[in-house]
Amino acid sequence: MRFMVMVKATKDSEKGVMPEEKLLTEMGKYNDELVKAGVLLAAEGLQASSKGARVRFSGEKRTVIDGPFAETKELIAGFWLIQVKSKEEAIEWVKRCPNPSPGESEIEIRQVFEAEDFGPEFTPEARAAEERMRAQLASKK
Amino acid sequence: MTAPDTHRTIDAVWRIESPRVIAGLARIVRDVGLAEDLAHDALVAALEQWPQSGVPRNPGAWLMTAAKHRAIDLFRRNKLLERKHEELGYAIDMERQTAVADFEAALDDDVGDDLLRLVFTACHPVLSTEARVALTLRLLGGLTTDEIARAFLVSEPTIAQRIVRAKRTLAKERVPFEIPRGAELVARLSSVLEVIYLVFNEGYSATAGDDWMRPALCEDALRLGRILAELAPPEPEVHGLVALMEIQASRARARVGPSGQAIVLNDQNRALWDQLLIRRGLAALERAETLGGARGWYTLQAAIAACHARARTAEDTDWPGIARLYDELAAQAPSPVVELNRAVAVAMAFGPAAGLALVDGLTSEPALREYHLLPSVRGDLLKKLGRLEEARVEFERAAALTRNTRERELLLDRARGCAVG
């Protein structure tokens, strides 16, 4: 299963202040570890919201709002896309991440929908089939 | 944190840390089976202590230290071989002299090599293919026996037995914990790649069971392949294998229809292909090809998969290019299955009659007698040539040969299609 791991923006990231060299080195080492463990699919850092925009929808109407946006803590400053076995594993990986800002910061973990979340595997028939299989396995023990 | 939460956390920590812990221990005790037992003892200790004490800040170091203590205890008790004793004596001295963190750093230095040694040991040719698969998933994938059993639809005791026997064989045959060199490396690496691709294929086109795909196994294989690519970066075929798996996995969502039926490549909705995996696959293929040398089996297969991945529509597919790649593959690793695929590419590039001529040359091939794709391909070409009755017979023969329920449905469907036409 895949998880999107999102680093929240800080005042510094919104001001466009680049992280210190020490943090960049530590982050590089961490990313390296994710690659070596075969779990990292993609990772990107995002520029300050002053360089972004929002499109607001209201019925058929679209309004473009240019950045920056005020609610810093709700903004995303970067993300990883990782492939792991469980939410707990995603959490364990995130706990190993260096603190992305000098003070307090937060990283959010969200599970990505997979084909089987919609697909045939989740039909009642498939579930019944799996339960049958488990019963068979149990009887073989 | 509640106890069940802690247990799930411990499972996750185990998955992340156990390969490194086992590999590091195996270097010290020179016995992969013993290393795994020791690591497992440490896991049991964690299961006893962490629910009360909480998960330590560096759980990997905790597990390693706990396992190391057990190793020392065991060796003191058993008074094993003098050589091993000396090595452990060294380990004990080191423990006295340095903090755990330093030990971890020392271990980290060649943890990559230890992991690579572990890969080569788990895939050692003294073991049966089944044993290699189970041991690799267990030691390097961090999967539990139960998870492996469920993935391969066999009972847990069967897998547990297989692993115990494999560990015993490694010890009995005195398989050294090392990275093979020179000419041996090529042969041993190909055994490793074969194991990983076998796991992938079991997930990608399940040979048994009711489901067409088991995505978790594909993910396990991809993870192993990506790990190996970082452990052995100068080996082009490792990147070739990763490229092949990434590109094949990119089609996962498109190759199963709403009622679980299989959808063949040319009929897939390419908007459902995972562009991220395609990009990763193409990058891995480039890495393989940049390393130079004659393209190996996995790299060539990946190059073929890449031709499909690059085509925006089925009609855009570079079939003459694919036919050329199959020529290269047939020259390098001739096999009836490659010939069959080459025939398909030739049919697509130069017409069904040209393909059928090649397929007809394969019908007496003993290796393909039980292979359902031969009648399936032949049926397809006959149908395109308007020879419907012959096509129907071939599809039915193919349906009788496949062991996958979903695939059988697809083939019977095609047989019925010929009868109506």
Taking the CA of residue A70 and the nearest CA in chain B, the distance in Å comes to 32
Name the least confident of B37-41, B332-336, B351-355: B332-336
pLDDT tens track for B142-174: 898 988 988 888 899 999 999 999 999 999 999
Tokens of B178: 């090392």
Q: Where are the beta strands (DSSP E) in chain A?
A: 2-8, 40-45, 53-58, 61-66, 76-83, 107-111
In a domain, residue A76? The reply is: yes
User: What gap in Å lies between CA A31 and CA B184, rounded to an integer?
Assistant: 33
DSSP A31: H
Q: What is the pLDDT of residues B392-414, one digit of tens each?
A: 999 999 999 988 887 888 899 99
Please indicate whether, in this complex, the C-beta atoms of B252 and A115 are within 8 angstroms of each other.
yes
**Cβ separation A41–B150 shorter than 8 A:** no
Express each pLDDT in B302-324 by its tens digit.
Answer: 999 999 999 999 999 999 999 99
Interface contact B12-A89, CB threshold 8 A? yes
Residue A27 in any domain: the answer is: yes
User: Does residue A71 form part of some domain?
Assistant: yes
Whether residue A121 is contained in a domain is answered as: no
Interface of B with A (CB under 8 A): 8-9, 11-13, 15-16, 59, 112, 149-150, 153, 155-158, 209-211, 215-216, 219, 222-227, 230-231, 252-253, 256, 258-260, 276, 280
pLDDT band at B110 (very low <50, low <70, confident <90, very high): low
**Closest partner CB to A86 (pick from B8, B59, B153):** B8
Any domain includes A80: yes
Task: Enumerate residues 6+ apart whose C-beta is below 8 A from B358.
Answer: B339, B342, B343, B346, B347
Report residues of chain A scoring pLDDT below 50.
Answer: 120-122, 140-141
Structure tokens at B321: 């290019």
% pLDDT > 90, chain B? 63
Nearest CA in chain A to B154: A137
Chain A positions touching B211 (Cβ under 8 A) are: 121, 126
User: Residues near B417 by Cβ (< 8 Å), separated by ≥ 6?
Assistant: B383
pLDDT at B111: 76
- Per-residue confidence (pLDDT) for residue B101, from 0 to 100: 45
Average pLDDT over residues B85-105: 50
**Spatial CA neighbour of B243 closest among B288, B297, B308, B191:** B288
Residues of B in contact with A92 (CB under 8 A): 9, 12-13, 16, 59
Mean pLDDT, residues B95-117 taken together: 59
> Rounded CA gap, B102 and B310, in Å?
49
Chain B residues in contact with A85 (beta carbon < 8 A): 12, 15, 216, 219
Contact assignment for A91 to B280 by CB distance below 8 Å: no
Which residues of B are less than 8 Å from A42 in CB distance? 276
Q: What is the pLDDT of residue B92?
A: 54
Copy the structure tokens of residue B418.
């010929």
| Residue A49 one-letter amino acid | S
Rounded Cα–Cα distance for residues B13 and A75 (Å): 30
Q: Which residues form the domain of A38?
A: 2-113
Provide the whole-model pTM: 0.84
Structural domain total, chain A: 1
In this structure, is residue A139 part of a structural domain?
Answer: no
- Please, which contacts does B348-356 make with residues 24 or more away whose CB atoms are closer than 8 Å? B348/B317, B348/B319, B348/B322, B348/B323, B349/B319, B349/B320, B349/B322, B349/B323, B350/B320, B350/B323, B352/B381, B352/B384, B352/B385, B353/B385, B355/B381, B356/B381, B356/B382, B356/B385
Please indicate, yes or no, if residue A98 is contained in any of the structural domains. Answer: yes
Q: What is the CATH number of the domain that holds A84?
A: 3.30.70.1060
- Give the count of Cβ contacts less than 8 A between chain A and B: 84
For the complex shown, is ipTM > 0.85?
Answer: no
- Residues in chain B closer than 8 A to A81 (CB atoms): 276
Locate tokens 């230095």: which residue?
A: B109
Is residue A102 in a domain? Answer: yes
Check whether B259 has a pLDDT greater than 90: no
